[in-house]
Each structure stands twice: as structure tokens, then as C-alpha cells.
Amino acid sequence: MKARVAVKFKPDVPDPVGRACVQQISRSGFSEIKDIRVGKFIEIELESADRDIIASRIEQMCAKMFANSLIEDVEIISVD
């Protein structure tokens, strides 16, 4: 099975990458952009077939490795 996870900065955490993207992409003809927040998309392939176990294990992985809870939030996008 595969799990897909998004790691995003918390709303109050500055994101210089997002800010630079706004500046440069707006200059490329996309002036309607108000803001960009750049996070990480992580795809994890797992051996287990139990969706509940996978979701629990993914949450543990995120808490331990993929995200730092001081600055980042995690969203499990899908498990299938």
C-alpha cells in the first residue's frame, strides 16, 4: 500500500521559499497570486495491508521524522 503525506509550515511560521516563489512567479505573468506556502509531499510504500495500522504508523513516522511539531503540520492525504 501507499500513503501520501503533506508536511506544511504552521500558519505563523515564516516561509522564505514561498515568499521568493510569490515574487518570481508573479513576475512571470501570474500577478493574481496572493501567497504561496511551500511544503513537502511524501509518498511512502509499506508492506502492511491494514489501513488502520498504516495510518497509525504513518502518524508515528511523521511525529518522529517527517515533521517538527514546533513548526510543521501534517496531513495524511491518502492511504491506498
Partner 1 sequence: MKIAIVSYPGSHGVDPLRRAVTALGVGEVSVVSDRTDSLGEFDVLFLPGGASYADYLRPGALAKASRISGQIKKAVDSEKRVIGIGNGFQILCEMDLLPGVFLQNPSMHLLAEETRVSVANPETIFTKGLKKQTYQLPLACWYGNYFLDSGTHQELEEEGQIALRYCDSYGDPIPDGEFHNFRSSIAGVFNRKKTTLGLLPHPERAVPGVSENHDGMEMLLSFLGAA
Q: What residues line the site for partner 1 (CB under 8 A)?
A: 13-14, 16-17, 20, 40, 65-66, 68, 70-71
CB closer to partner 1, 10 vs 79: 10
40-78 burial by CB neighbour count: b if 16+ within 10 A, else e?
A: eebebeeeeeeeeebeeebeebbeeebbeeeebebeeee
Pick the closer one to partner 1 by CB: 64 or 80: 64
Q: Cβ 61 to partner 1, closest distance in Å?
A: 11
The CB-of-49 to partner 1 minimum distance in angstroms stands at 26
CB 68 to partner 1: min, Å: 5
Cα four-point dihedral sign 9, 11, 16, 20:
positive
